[in-house]
């Protein structure tokens, strides 16, 4: 886990430096070690977005949400990506609630 933590920090540093290709590579290396790492999926999503890989970005955010749907970041950014990519948008509150039977 120490290796995953170090690589996650490297991905975060690359994002801060706006080195999107390196950020994506580092975050993907975290996922090789820990496939369920929420932050790594969010970082892949962010880097892919900035690299104009919108489909991959949205998939990364969807995966992050599947692992931790309570965190708002992936939901918020996925909304933006969905709007850019032209895919149907689903807001968190719509996804979480259903109408009672009539």
CA distance 25 to 66: 21
| Structural domain range at position 33 | 2-89
Q: Could you tell me if residue 100 is inside a domain? A: no
CATH number at residue 50: 1.25.40.10
Can you tell me which residue has the tokens 């909304």?
79
Q: Which pLDDT belongs to residue 65?
A: 84
Q: What CA–CA distances, in Å, run from 97 to 65, 91, 93, 102? A: 16, 10, 6, 15
Q: Which pLDDT belongs to residue 79?
A: 64
Per-residue pLDDT of the chain (102 residues; tens, 9 = 90+): 799 999 999 999 999 999 999 999 999 999 999 999 999 999 999 999 999 998 898 899 889 888 877 777 766 666 665 655 454 444 443 444 444 454
Q: Could you tell me if residue 95 is inside a domain? A: no
**Number of domains observed in the structure of the chain:** 1
Q: Which pLDDT belongs to residue 8?
A: 95
Residue among 38, 29, 32, 36 nearest 10 (CA): 29
Residue among 48, 40, 57 nearest 6 (CA): 40
């Amino acid at each position: 886990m120490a290796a995953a933590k170090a690589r996650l920090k490297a991905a975060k540093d690359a994002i801060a430096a706006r080195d999107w290709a390196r950020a994506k590579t580092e975050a993907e290396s975290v996922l090789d070690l820990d496939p369920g790492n929420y932050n790594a999926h969010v970082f892949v999503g962010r880097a892919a977005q900035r690299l104009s890989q919108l489909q991959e970005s949205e998939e990364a955010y969807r995966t992050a949400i599947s692992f931790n749907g309570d965190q708002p970041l992936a939901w918020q950014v996925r909304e933006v990506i969905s709007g850019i990519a032209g895919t149907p948008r689903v807001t968190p509150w719509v996804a979480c609630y259903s109408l009672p039977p009539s």
